[in-house]
Structure 1
Amino acid sequence: MTVKTQRAYNFNAGPSALPISVLEKAQAELIDFRGTGMSVMELSHRSSTYEEVHNQAINSLKELLSIPDQYEVLFLQGGASLQFSMIPMNFLKPGKKAGYVMTGSWSEKAFAEAKLFGDVYQAASAKDGNYRNIPTVSELKFHPEDAYLHLTSNNTIYGTQWADFPDTGDVPLVADMSSDILSRPIDVSKFALIYAGAQKNLGPSGVTVVIIRKDFLEQANTNIPTMLKYSTHAKNNSLYNTPPTFGIYMLGEVLNWVREFGGLSAIAEQNENKANLIYHTIETSNGFYIGHAAPDSHSLMNITFNLKSKELEKKFLEQAKQEGFVGVNGHRSIGGCRVSAYNAVPFETCKAFSEFMGVFQKKNS
C-alpha cells in the first residue's frame, strides 16, 4: 500500500529544500542507475558511467552561470569552512596582505582562519550596526597590492545580501557564495575565486563547488599538503580521490531542474516574488514584525525578523511549527525568526507563510 506523504513547509537554512522532481528521480534511480544494476552510490568513481555524471554536472554549471573558459570548476569536500583555510594557504604569501569585508558570522569565521596563515585586515565592517547592512563600495578600503579581497555574498544569519559586487581592478576578488549561488545571474568574470557549499541551492550537503580563474590558480603556493592544493584537484578533474559521488549526481539533477525552470533569470524572478511577499508583510505590520536587515541590503534568500516582544515571538514560533512550517527559528547565536526561501522553496510555501503571519497578527494585536 502506498502512503501519501505530506511535504513540510521547509524553511531550513541548510541543508535546505530540494526540488520534489529531483527527489523523485533520485528515488526512481536509486536501486538501478541507467541499467547498471547498481545505485549511483555504488558505482566506481573511475567508471565511464559515473564520469559522465561528473562531467555533465560541471558542464551544466558552466552553462547556467556563463562561466568563461579561463575558469576551472572543482568539486571538493569539507564545506565552505575548509575553504576559509584553503584560500589563505594557497594565496596569502609572505609579504602580502588580504582584505576581508565583515558582514556577519561567516565572514568573521573566514577572517579568523585566515589570521592563522598570514597578514589579514578588515577592509570594511558592518558589525557596529549589528550587521544590518552591506558596506557601500566607497566604504571598502583595500590596497592595490593585496593578495585578494574576500567577501560573503549573502549572510544567512543576519539576512543581508550584496546587490552588486565591487570592481576591484587588479586585486583578485574572492567570494563565499554558499547561500545564494545559482539564485540569480552573476558576472563570474569579476571574481578570481568563488566557493559555495551545495546545501542551500545546489544540492545536498557534502559537496563544495569552487570556481577558480586559471591565472589565479597558477599563483598558488606549492609548499602545502597535496589535498589542500587547488591545483591537485584541477589537474585531476576533481577525481584525485573519491569524490562525494551521490552529492554530485544530485547537484547535476538540481542544475537540470534549474535549466527546465527557465534558467537563472526565471529563478531570480521567482526568488524576488517569494521574498517580497514576506518583506511586504513585515513592512506593513505597523511594527508588529520588525525586520533586521536595512531595506537596501535585504537578502532574497534569508529573511530575518523579530516580533515586538520575546513572549509573542515564542508563541509565534510555536504556532508556526504547529502549522507545519519548519526551520523558522533564527540562528541559535542571535535568536529571532528567519525564513530561508532558497530556490527549491515553492512560491506557494512563502504565500502560505505570509498568510499565517497576517492571521497571527490579527489574533495577537
Structure 2
Amino acid sequence: MSSRPFNFSAGPAALPEAVLQQVAGEMLDWHGSGMSVMEMSHRGREFTEIAETAERDLRELLQVPSHFRILFMQGGGLAENAIVPMNLAGRQGLGKVDAVVSGSWSKKSAQEARRYADVQIAADSGPGGYRSLPSPSSWQLRRDAAYVHICSNETIDGLEFHELPDLLALGSEAPLVVDCSSHVLSRTIDWSRVGLAFAGAQKNIGPAGLTLVFVREDLLGHAMAICPSAFDYKTVAEANSMYNTPPTFGIYVAGLVFQWLKAFRHGEQSGVAAIEQRNIEKAALLYAALDASSVFETRVAAECRSRMNVPFYLRGAYDTPQLNESFLNGAKARNLLQLKGHKSVGGMRASIYNAMPLEGVQALVAYLKDFEAQYG
C-alpha cells in the first residue's frame, strides 16, 4: 500500500500512482530521445508515436467504431458547450438544439448553446432539486432538432445515466451529444446511440488541458462560418489533431493512463469491463454506508446515483457549519483529502474515479462510522 493520502478531488483528480512514477522517471529523457515530452515537436517522430499509440489504445479500450473520429483538443468540457453548437447546430440549416437539463453542468451547456442556436429545454429536473433524472419518455423532442444534448454524469449533483437514451425509440432522428467528462472510461459506451461525445481529461484520464472528442464522421463538415478554424471538427480531424499545437504533455500522460487501464485486472475481466466492476463495488460500499447512517445522507434517487461523484450531507440538526468543518478537518487528519462539496451545493463530495483504490473508499467509510459514533 502507498503512503500517499487518498485524494477525492472532483478534478483535476488523482492519477494512478504507477503512471505518476513513470512520468517522473521519463521527465528528463523520454525513451533515450534526450528530450522531455514537453520539449518535443508535436510533428516530430517521437511525439507522433506517442499520439498514435494513445489514440489506438483509447479506441481499443472503448471499442470506438471505425466511423468515429477521435480528436485531441483543448478548452475543456466548458468550451465544448460552445464548440459543439458551432459545429452541429446549423447542420440542417435550422439551428435547433434540444437539451436535457439534469444538473448544474447540463444547465450551463444549454445556456452556452443559446449563444449559437435555438435551444429548447426538452426536460428539466431542476424544480425537483436535481435529485433524479427526467425519464426519457417525458422528453419533449423536436423532429427537426440538429442534435440532443445530455450530460451523462453530473459531477456536482451526483447523477448518472446508467443507460444512454435511445433517441430513435423516442421518435427523434437527431444525433445524441453526450458530455461524459466525469465518467469517461469508467464504463462501456453504446456507440450505436451516440453521435458525438466529449470529455475533459482531468477526471479519469490525465492532467487538465486535454479534451477528447469522439465524433461520427457524417457530422463533420457542418461548422458555422463563425467557428474558429482550430475548433472546426473537420479541420481538426483532417489534420489528425495536429492542426495547431495540441496539449502534448496531456496526451502523453493520457496515453500512459490508457496503458495502465489496458493492463488492469479485476477477477477474470480486464480493461474497461474490469474497472467498471470495481467502480460498481466502490460506489455500492460508500452508498450503503451513507444509507445506513443516522448522521449522513445522500439526496439522489437510488436508481440514478453516480458511481463517480458522491455528494453527501449531514442530516437535519447535524448540518451546521461547525460540524461540517469538523468533518473536513478530521478527514484531512486521516489523509482523506478534498472532500468539500461544490460551493453551489455545499456539504461534502467524494469523487471515486478509476484511480481511487477500493482501500480509499474503505478508509472513508471507516471515518464516516467513527464520526457518527462521536457525534451521533
When the two structures are superposed, what TM-score results if normalisation uses the length of structure 1? 0.96
Does 1:156 find its partner at 2:171?
no
Select between 5-14 and 320-329 the one with higher mean Cα deviation.
5-14
Does 1:255 find its partner at 2:258?
yes
What number of residue pairs does the alignment pair up?
A: 361
Q: In 2, are the aligned partners of 1:158 and 1:292 still within 8 Å (CA)?
A: no
**Residue in structure 2 matched with residue 11 of structure 1 by the alignment:** 8
Alpha-carbon distance in structure 2 between the residues aligned to 1:233 and 1:206: 16
Q: In 1, are the aligned partners of 2:86 and 2:226 still within 8 Å (CA)?
A: no
Residue number among 283, 304, 311 corresponding to 1:297 in the alignment = 304
Residue number among 245, 248, 256 corresponding to 1:245 in the alignment = 248
Q: Which AA in structure 1 matches 2:309?
A: N
**Residue in structure 2 matched with residue 346 of structure 1 by the alignment:** 357
SS in structure 1 opposite 2:39? Answer: coil
SS in structure 2 opposite 1:194? Answer: strand
Alpha-carbon distance in structure 1 between the residues aligned to 2:157 and 2:362: 22
**Unaligned 5+ residue runs, structure 2?**
265-269
Does 1:227 find its partner at 2:224?
no
Q: Which AA in structure 2 matches 1:267?
A: I
Q: Which AA in structure 2 matches 1:249?
A: Y
Q: In 1, are the aligned partners of 2:83 and 2:227 still within 8 Å (CA)?
A: no
Does 1:70 find its partner at 2:67?
yes
Does 1:236 find its partner at 2:235?
no
1:67-106 equivalences in 2 (<5 Å): 67-93=64-90, 94-106=93-105
Q: In 2, are the aligned partners of 1:132 and 1:292 still within 8 Å (CA)?
A: yes
Alpha-carbon distance in structure 2 between the residues aligned to 1:103 and 1:45: 38
1:18-29 equivalences in 2 (<5 Å): 18-29=15-26
**Residue in structure 2 matched with residue 283 of structure 1 by the alignment:** 291
Residue number among 309, 326, 331 corresponding to 1:315 in the alignment = 326
Alpha-carbon distance in structure 1 between the residues aligned to 2:247 and 2:81: 20
**Residue in structure 2 matched with residue 167 of structure 1 by the alignment:** 166
Select between 314-323 and 352-361 the one with higher mean Cα deviation.
314-323
1:271 Cα deviation (Å)?
Answer: 0.5
Question: Cα deviations across residues 321-346 of structure 1 (Å, max 9, x unaligned)?
Answer: 22111110000111101000000011
**Residue in structure 1 matched with residue 52 of structure 2 by the alignment:** 55
**Residue in structure 2 matched with residue 40 of structure 1 by the alignment:** 37
Alpha-carbon distance in structure 1 between the residues aligned to 2:280 and 2:228: 43
Select between 303-312 and 17-26 the one with higher mean Cα deviation.
303-312
Q: Which AA in structure 1 matches 2:283?
A: A
Aligned identity (percent) is: 41
Q: Which AA in structure 1 matches 2:305?
A: H
Alpha-carbon distance in structure 1 between the residues aligned to 2:207 and 2:144: 38
Question: Cα deviations across residues 110-154 of structure 1 (Å, max 9, x unaligned)?
Answer: 111111112001011110111011111212111221100000010
Alpha-carbon distance in structure 2 between the residues aligned to 1:64 and 1:284: 36
Q: In 1, are the aligned partners of 2:262 and 2:271 still within 8 Å (CA)?
A: yes
1:223 Cα deviation (Å)?
Answer: 5.2
Question: Cα deviations across residues 201-255 of structure 1 (Å, max 9, x unaligned)?
Answer: 0111110000000001134435532112111110000001111111100000000
Q: Which runs of 4+ in 1 moved over 3 A?
A: 218-223
Q: In 2, are the aligned partners of 1:200 and 1:342 still within 8 Å (CA)?
A: yes
Residue number among 191, 195, 199 corresponding to 1:192 in the alignment = 195
Alpha-carbon distance in structure 1 between the residues aligned to 2:282 and 2:234: 40
Q: In 2, are the aligned partners of 1:90 and 1:229 still within 8 Å (CA)?
A: yes
Select between 251-260 and 87-96 the one with higher mean Cα deviation.
87-96
Q: Which AA in structure 2 matches 1:184?
A: R
Does 1:270 find its partner at 2:278?
yes
Residue number among 192, 209, 215 corresponding to 1:212 in the alignment = 215
SS in structure 1 opposite 2:121? Answer: strand
1:15 Cα deviation (Å)?
Answer: 0.4
SS in structure 2 opposite 1:41? Answer: helix
Alpha-carbon distance in structure 2 between the residues aligned to 1:247 and 1:228: 18
Q: Which AA in structure 1 matches 2:303?
A: D
**Unaligned 5+ residue runs, structure 1?**
none
Q: Which AA in structure 2 matches 1:39?
A: S
1:6 Cα deviation (Å)?
Answer: 3.6
Alpha-carbon distance in structure 2 between the residues aligned to 1:205 and 1:325: 22
Alpha-carbon distance in structure 2 between the residues aligned to 1:350 and 1:185: 22
Q: Which AA in structure 2 matches 1:158?
A: D
SS in structure 1 opposite 2:313? Answer: strand
**Residue in structure 2 matched with residue 147 of structure 1 by the alignment:** 146
